[in-house]
Amino acid sequence: MFNTTIARTVAATLCTIVVSATCVLGAVGPAIATTATPVAATTAIVA
């Protein structure tokens, strides 16, 4: 598919960046989402 070493290097670099970004977003996304106040914490049980 790729004829030159430069093309292979660029493709490998781009692939590494995409996979790394996906891993970081997968780890940071839930952490950011959990900083919001949960609905259960804001609702009080009324007896």
What tens digit of pLDDT does each residue of 10-40 get? 999 999 999 998 888 887 776 665 555 555 5
- pTM of the predicted protein model: 0.54
Distances (CA, A) of 27 to 24, 31, 33: 5, 7, 11
How high is the pLDDT of residue 13?
94
- Residue 38 to residue 16: CA distance in whole angstroms: 35
What's the pLDDT score for residue 43?
56
pLDDT of residue 27: 79
